[in-house]
Amino acid sequence: MDLQPALPRDLEQVIVELAVEDIRFPLKPSNTYVNVQLTARRFHAWIEPFLFRVLNKDIFETHLKRMGTSHFIDRLRYIGKHTKHLAYTIDTYDVKSDHIRLKLLIECCPNLLELSIRQWLSSDTLCKDHETVSKLMGLRRLSAGFKGLQREDILCPTYLGLTHLDLMDNLDPDLIHHFQNLTHLRIDMIRMEVTWRTLLVKATDKESGCQALQVIILDMVGIAQLCSHYNINIALPEHVDRSRCVVLTETPYFRRNWLKQANGAMDAWEFCERIVMAKKKGYLSNPSKQAFSMDDFRVHKELTSQGQVPAPMDHQPILPPEIEQAIVEIVGEDICFPFVPDRTIFPNVQLTARRFYDWMQPSIFRVMNKRIFKIHLRRMGPRFIDSLRYLGKYTTHLAYTIDGAPAIAQNRDHTRLQLLIECCPNLVDLAIWHTSDTLSKVHETVSKLTKLRRLSASFEGMPKEQILCPTYLGLTHLEVVGGIDAQIITHFQNLTHLAISVSSDLDWRSVLDRATDKDTGCPSLRIIITVNEDPLDLIDAAALQYDDQRYVSLLDASYFEVDWLDGAYRGMDAWRFAECIVFARSMKYLKTPSKQAFSISPYKLHEELNSAGQEWWGKPVIEFRTTHDD
């Protein structure tokens, strides 16, 4: 056991991560991260996610040389879980071997958020790796060519869930409207010289285009010399919203640009975001200018005096801002429990400095439900409603219980819920309870939530084409309260967790049979739950048996709002509890291995688990792994 630090663990971890910040640029020679890892076992664990967060061919070969071929390849499947960004340039002289290596890398990196695949003078690279790439449930940024892919391949949930798409070849313009989660689109004007205008028109169509699209980059790098001056007006099609379009004439070399983004610096995406913002704010010296160069952009020439003024900043702290922010968040940690009366520490801390207020807002407004909404309303007054569209950007978890009666109260609740969802575009978790047709009434708004991953609701009254929209198909956690046909569940290919209310009219066994089918089911499914809200003495546990090691039946789940809040605040909710039970079953920790029905509260460890299981469950952080990693 390591010597316990005097500082809080969270704060110590931030300090360690700052000390090894140069590992974010792994092509720069440095032994800092190696030396710090040797200080304590916990430091090694903290640093690994940074060390392997970014991979490309050069970084891969650097690790290979540092760790040795056999050791690094053997550990690749374990350390690959930390990799979020992967860029790979296929060797023109060794295409076959490079594709094999790339496939292995992608398979070992299931948590990728960003993937870039390039090959000189070729745009069919994605076609050769599609089967592996299509399994990346969390992929949000892609730079590749779709050449050679069939329509049904292109319209798979992985690609339809993208927010950033860098198109490196011709894509059928008739397909672009399916990408409803896109916020950023980059078009190579050289490779798409014939179709880029049509694609642009289709993508920006107000009725059928990509509704979430914010930034469009028209990449003319390589043909800028054909323009007599960078200020030339590119002939964009009529009716296209030019405020969202930026023509790039020069960018840093693509590998350097990609590494900038992966390491949090300004890349082409962020540069163009700022140009779009400057257009909307009226900060450009030449408002009609469309073409820009990242390398030659001069603030004093391109922006008005107002646009050149940095945003107001407080007096800089003596501590690095990352450490000061960690301290503030630890001090204000009790804001995660908004139902505890007389907790006023977060308003007091916010008054200390403007930056403290900014840091704490994401925590204060991260979780929202009807009761929390009313607490904010009472605390802030009418200005809370006025500020809702600004504050809602911080909300990632929203639960709403619709009033049961009368009808006028339901209608009022539906209107309020729709407003809340519209004001919270970054929702990851949404729960709608108590009425079966609410989701159908707010579907149009919910379908625009590009980041939604968890949903608890009923699909009652919704046609199949609505249920199969990209937002729902991108879900990883789904609690079905009712209204879904068993055959439809197989379309949810990204699901890892599925829960079904047995109190509804659903034939839950048929739904589970479809979802768990080895050939046509949900291939990523890890946890299956049935939820029963009836009193314990009325439940027939034997009738809830289901033959699957991933299955858990939860009894007496009537406190669903409390359970949801536990999960939103990173506590033990039903999803987490079921994960623990399934893992305990696989490790033979359960005293009764065949038991499937459990009650979350109270869970009696000494009755349910053997001694090894009790020791594992009692750890401050429950680990889900079967082997010890050196």
Dihedral pair phi/psi, residue 117, rounded to 5°: -125, 120
Beta strand 397-401 with 429-433 is parallel
Tell me the average pLDDT across 544-552: 92
Task: Give the contacts of 405 (CB within 8 A, at least 6 positions apart).
Answer: none
pLDDT band, very low/low/confident/very high, at 70 (cuts 50, 70, 90): low
pLDDT for 157-211, tens place per residue?
A: 999 999 999 988 878 899 999 999 999 999 887 777 667 888 899 999 888 899 9
Identity of residue 82? H
pLDDT band, very low/low/confident/very high, at 28 (cuts 50, 70, 90): very low
Tell me the average pLDDT across 33-39: 47
**Residue 527 reports pLDDT greater than 90:** yes
Structure tokens at 566: 């536990």
pLDDT band, very low/low/confident/very high, at 259 (cuts 50, 70, 90): confident
Conformational region of residue 282, where left means phi above 0, alpha means psi within -120 to 50, and beta covers everything else = left
pLDDT for 238-258, tens place per residue?
A: 778 888 999 888 765 666 677
pLDDT of residue 38: 46
- Point out the least confidently predicted range of 289-298, 557-566, 570-579: 557-566
Partnered with residue 215 across adjacent β-strands are: 184
pLDDT of residue 45: 66
Question: DSSP letter string over 4-72?
Answer: PPSS-HHHHHHHHHHHTGGGGSTTS---HHHHHHTT-HHHHHHHHHHHTSEEEHHHHHHHHHHH-HHHH
**Residue 385 reports pLDDT greater than 50:** yes
- Point out the least confidently predicted range of 60-64, 172-176, 345-349, 607-611: 345-349
Partnered with residue 55 across adjacent β-strands are: 86
Distance separating alpha carbons of residues 614 and 603, to the nearest angstrom: 11
pLDDT band, very low/low/confident/very high, at 521 (cuts 50, 70, 90): very high
Residue holding tokens 């949903």? Answer: 455
Which of helix, strand or coil describes residue 342? Answer: coil
pLDDT of residue 16: 59
Structure tokens at 223: 């043909």
pLDDT of residue 76: 81
- Point out the least confidently predicted range of 348-352, 456-460, 496-500, 555-559: 348-352
Question: DSSP letter string over 140-184?
Answer: -EEEE--TT--HHHHTSHHHHT-SEEEE-S---GGGGGG-TT-SE
Tell me the average pLDDT across 397-404: 86
- How far from the centroid of its chain's Cα atoms is residue 456's Cα? 18
pLDDT of residue 3: 47
**Residue 539 reports pLDDT greater than 80:** no
CB atoms within 10 A of CB 112: 22
Mean pLDDT, the chain, whole residue set = 78
DSSP 396: -
pLDDT of residue 344: 38
Tell me the average pLDDT across 405-414: 73
pLDDT of residue 314: 43
Tell me the average pLDDT across 2-17: 58
Which of helix, strand or coil describes residue 400? Answer: strand
Question: DSSP letter string over 90-152?
Answer: E-TTSHHHHHHHHHHHHHH-TT-SEEEEEETTB--HHHHHHHHHTT-TT--EEEE--TT--HH
pLDDT of residue 553: 92
- pLDDT above 70 as % of the chain: 71
Distance separating alpha carbons of residues 163 and 213, to the nearest angstrom: 9
- Point out the least confidently predicted range of 34-43, 270-279, 318-327, 340-349: 340-349
pLDDT band, very low/low/confident/very high, at 397 (cuts 50, 70, 90): very high
Distance separating alpha carbons of residues 320 and 11, to the nearest angstrom: 12
pLDDT band, very low/low/confident/very high, at 343 (cuts 50, 70, 90): very low
Distance separating alpha carbons of residues 113 and 109, to the nearest angstrom: 10
Tell me the average pLDDT across 400-421: 80
**Residue 508 reports pLDDT greater than 50:** yes
**Residue 443 reports pLDDT greater than 60:** yes
- Point out the least confidently predicted range of 2-11, 17-26, 411-420: 17-26
Q: Are 461 and 428 in contact (CB under 8 A)?
A: no
Partnered with residue 188 across adjacent β-strands are: 219
pLDDT of residue 489: 94
Structure tokens at 476: 């990883």
Distance separating alpha carbons of residues 52 and 76, to the nearest angstrom: 10
Tell me the average pLDDT across 259-269: 74
**Residue 630 reports pLDDT greater than 70:** no
pLDDT of residue 23: 45
pLDDT of residue 122: 67
- Per-domain residue ranges of the chain: 163-310
**Residue 215 reports pLDDT greater than 50:** yes
Question: DSSP letter string over 225-284?
Answer: GGSSSTTPPP-PPTT--GGGEEEEEE-S-HHHHHHHHHTTS--HHHHHHHHHHHHHHT-B
Distance separating alpha carbons of residues 88 and 112, to the nearest angstrom: 13
pLDDT of residue 1: 40
**At what angle are helices 321-331 and 9-19 packed, to 10 degrees?**
170
Task: Give the contacts of 549 (CB within 8 A, at least 6 positions apart).
Answer: 582, 585, 586
Tell me the average pLDDT across 301-328: 67
Best-predicted range by mean pLDDT among 246-255, 446-455, 532-541? Answer: 446-455
- Point out the least confidently predicted range of 113-127, 349-363, 474-488, 584-598: 349-363
pLDDT of residue 104: 84
Distance separating alpha carbons of residues 363 and 369, to the nearest angstrom: 14
